Structure 1
Amino acid sequence: MHIEPFSVYISEGEIEGLQRRLHETRWPLASPSEPWQRGVDTNWLRELTRYWADGFDWRTAELALNAQPQFTAQIEGQRVHFVHRRGVGPAPYPIVITHGWPGSFFEFYSVLDQLCDPAAFGGDPSDAFDVVVPSIPGFAFSQAPTQPGISSFQVADLWASLMTGLGYGRFGAQGGDLGAGVSIALASRHPQLVDGIHLNFLPGSYQPALGPAAPPLTKAEEAFLRARDQWAMLEGGYSHMHSTRPDTLAFSLNDSPVGLAAWIGEKFRAWSDCDGIIEQSFSRDELLTNLSLYWFTQTIGSSMQMYWENRLQPMRFADGQRVLPPVGFANFPKEINHPPRSWLERTFNVAQWADMPSGGHFAAMEEPTLLAAEIRRFFKPFRS
């Protein structure tokens, strides 16, 4: 596996081009509804756009991104970008953490210090991790797939090769959103490498075996499935579009930075524990760093392809099929679904379960201290 150091750099011409497009936005007529009722609020988006064009300093964001050690690796013909932060402690434990959509590798910048250098936060240095945060193919600086068929399962195969290529014979995995699917696929397909996985989300396509030999659904499971279906009907339009017509949507989002900000910004509000005020959970600079990564790398279209591929390769388990490595689950209160523990136990050995006091879908950004503590607690038994 060939590895090279990597630094983020965006040309002045690209920065100026973004600012020009922002200044020349054609704004639609506001709808006759309450703010956020029918989608993104126009006034909020106008303010964010003004700041993106005239206040946000990409060079400062770029310096912050480059403060973490980054690399690219050639794996089976695929260029993969990743952060690789070594832990500060006597024997750091290796873990691969996978982002989701509409996030990026930047999601985990708030949690890296706490995982890699716990002593700096008053913790035990023996709890340190070596953390690898790859960008999923088609996100940020990882090459977009050139052939169809790259779902969570194939990404998991790439991560297995990446981690072994970095010299880790056994390791843990963590993720939410798409990253949860990749982590489950790692545990399912590579149990000889993966000690355990920690999740803060359960993929919507996850389906345990429900044949004649399976126990009947509990009332809690029935309520969860009803709530999941209702959420998909009222809030899942984005996912249906991504998984059925991603190429059509890509033309508009790749051409309009304000359209991109609307499509992604709404999700950061709807899926986070922010009480309807996005800036209570994320600073504007954080939101725009993530948005700018999609814009400058022109990967909004390729990022949506994962939904298409995961629809064709859903996370379904057959009768008697179980995932052997143990699972930890952090259930954040404002997450978009809340499976009961029994729903996971139909397939997984659930070794740790925590109902979290606060936080939502973007747990690593919203509650990095809480998430880091759960990750440390789950993986502690594997350090020996």
Structure 2
Amino acid sequence: MTITPFRIDVPQTTLDDLQRRLTDARLPAPLPGDDWDTGVPVSWLSELVDYWRTEYDWRKVEQQLNEFPQYTTEIDGQQIHFLHVRSAEADALPLVLTHGWPGSFVEFVDLIGPLTDPVAHGGKGEDAFHVVVPSLPGFGYSTPISSNGWTIERTARAWAELMSRLGYQRYGVQGGDLGGAVSPAVARVDRDRVVGVHVNGGPSLPPYPLPDEELATLTPLEQDRVARVGEFMQEQFGYIAIQSTRPQALAYGLVDSPVGQLAWIMDKFREWTYPRTTLPDQIISRDKLLTNVMIYWLTGSAGSSAYVGYAGGGTWGPKLENSGVPTAAIVFAHDVSVRRYAEEEHTIVRWTDVDQGGHFAALEEPELLLADVREFFRTVRG
């Protein structure tokens, strides 16, 4: 039950070692065309590596991250790292924010101020939240991974236990990617205390493949989303196949090579930010991209994050139990969720389709995400 204060304090020898590895990195020869069709282009990544080596300032970032109260606690045999920032507003609602892969808790740091102190950020005091941002088991400082079996449901039970330890009797949950699966699962395991579920990207994927006659009943927007699910299965599923079957083999390269870790993550940021034709560092700043990568590098969590993220079960499975907890979704342009299928497993009370933004909502479209979170939880605060 012990909750221990935590500060990030990276030894200088670790940073010196990173600098040496970046300086001595051996990059591959460019493949014909050197474009994104075969993965991250050498020309683009080499510039980002140079920026990482010469301009990125981890010590500045470390100081900024340590301005947020951080803690660790052991739940179900696993160290869990989390940020816990309480609002000064008396009626603030506790809110758990859950990241996904290849993200980390740093996705949410720019939202913490507006969520905990809305008045100072152009909002109203009644929209305030006490914010809890855990690192998923096997990710970041919630490492090393202690055991197998860290499924979505087990993580959800850990989050419910964490909120109990913090003394919260009513709370909301929010997340995207893996966090978009964990958040509804928290409502299933702790439905008497979870007042609302908010997800970006949608709480579930449409069934795939769909028969032609059913596909014809969908709107053009929904048909496009289903088509993009098919494109993903054909063109991008490889990383899931590797991470869910051979995470240890993959980890050797990524934990040993910062350039390898950078390329593996940047490939997904390019594919999943919006618009796809724009380079990821033109959508999200280089410093933010590199800080996220640094969390993986410094903790050596490439293998455990892959193991937990995708070894716990397939993307499509049996229908989930509907918790009955009010659920809202904001679906950005990159996302593929379809409301009619989400309603088969979730009590959808709010659904917002947006024609901009991508998978990393808190980094790409923080204002839109913040506004939707505020508006939804106004209806369920009680």
Relative to the length of structure 2, the TM-score reads 0.92
Please name the residue that 2:245 is paired with.
244
- Distance, in Å, in 1 between the alignment partners of 2:285 and 2:39 is 20
Picking from 361, 365, 368, the partner of 1:367 is 365
- Paired letter, 1:85: V
- Distance, in Å, in 1 between the alignment partners of 2:204 and 2:240 is 10
Matched-pair contact (CA < 8 Å) for 2:169–2:193? yes
Provide the identity percentage.
41
- Distance, in Å, in 2 between the alignment partners of 1:168 and 1:258 is 42
Alignment of 1:197-236 (within 5 A): 197-202=197-202, 218-220=217-219, 224-236=225-237
> CA, structure 1 residues 223+160, in 2 after alignment: closer, same or farther (shift >3 Å)?
same
Picking from 319, 340, 343, the partner of 2:341 is 343
Please name the residue that 1:33 is paired with.
33
- Paired letter, 1:181: A
Please name the residue that 1:53 is paired with.
53
> CA, structure 1 residues 166+315, in 2 after alignment: closer, same or farther (shift >3 Å)?
farther
Alignment of 1:1-384 (within 5 A): 1-202=1-202, 218-220=217-219, 224-274=225-275, 275-311=277-313, 316-317=318-319, 321-333=321-333, 335=334, 337-384=335-382
- Paired letter, 2:369: L
- How far residue 290 of structure 1 moved from its aligned partner, in angstroms, is 0.9
- How far residue 256 of structure 1 moved from its aligned partner, in angstroms, is 0.6
1:238-290 CA deviation, whole Å, 9 max, x = no partner?
11211121111111111110011111012112211254222222111111111
- Distance, in Å, in 2 between the alignment partners of 1:126 and 1:259 is 45
- How far residue 315 of structure 1 moved from its aligned partner, in angstroms, is 5.2
- Paired letter, 1:241: I
- Paired letter, 2:373: I
Matched-pair contact (CA < 8 Å) for 1:152–1:181? yes
- How far residue 195 of structure 1 moved from its aligned partner, in angstroms, is 1.3
> CA, structure 1 residues 36+242, in 2 after alignment: closer, same or farther (shift >3 Å)?
same
- Paired letter, 1:40: V
- Distance, in Å, in 2 between the alignment partners of 1:303 and 1:32 is 32
Secondary structure of the 1:168 match is coil
- Distance, in Å, in 2 between the alignment partners of 1:381 and 1:203 is 19
Matched-pair contact (CA < 8 Å) for 2:195–2:381? no
- Distance, in Å, in 1 between the alignment partners of 2:107 and 2:231 is 28
Relative to the length of structure 1, the TM-score reads 0.92
- How far residue 343 of structure 1 moved from its aligned partner, in angstroms, is 1.2
> CA, structure 1 residues 5+149, in 2 after alignment: closer, same or farther (shift >3 Å)?
same
- Distance, in Å, in 2 between the alignment partners of 1:302 and 1:350 is 33
- How far residue 223 of structure 1 moved from its aligned partner, in angstroms, is 6.1
> CA, structure 1 residues 135+67, in 2 after alignment: closer, same or farther (shift >3 Å)?
same
- How far residue 185 of structure 1 moved from its aligned partner, in angstroms, is 1.1
> CA, structure 1 residues 308+279, in 2 after alignment: closer, same or farther (shift >3 Å)?
closer
Secondary structure of the 1:354 match is strand
- Paired letter, 1:172: G
- Paired letter, 2:331: N
Secondary structure of the 2:96 match is strand
Matched-pair contact (CA < 8 Å) for 1:328–1:378? yes
Secondary structure of the 1:230 match is helix
Please name the residue that 1:213 is paired with.
none
- Distance, in Å, in 1 between the alignment partners of 2:351 and 2:313 is 28
- Paired letter, 2:218: K
Secondary structure of the 1:324 match is coil
Secondary structure of the 1:358 match is coil
- How far residue 224 of structure 1 moved from its aligned partner, in angstroms, is 4.3
- Distance, in Å, in 2 between the alignment partners of 1:77 and 1:34 is 46
> CA, structure 1 residues 94+3, in 2 after alignment: closer, same or farther (shift >3 Å)?
same
Matched-pair contact (CA < 8 Å) for 1:152–1:182? yes
- How far residue 207 of structure 1 moved from its aligned partner, in angstroms, is 6.0
- Distance, in Å, in 2 between the alignment partners of 1:166 and 1:277 is 41
Q: Give the length in aligned residue pairs.
A: 375
Matched-pair contact (CA < 8 Å) for 1:206–1:316? no
Matched-pair contact (CA < 8 Å) for 1:94–1:168? yes
Matched-pair contact (CA < 8 Å) for 1:114–1:369? no
- Distance, in Å, in 2 between the alignment partners of 1:131 and 1:301 is 28
- Distance, in Å, in 2 between the alignment partners of 1:323 and 1:366 is 30
- Distance, in Å, in 1 between the alignment partners of 2:358 and 2:260 is 24
1:117-176 CA deviation, whole Å, 9 max, x = no partner?
110122101110001000001111112332211111100010000001101112110000
Q: Which 10-residue stretch deviates more, 296-305 or 66-75?
A: 66-75
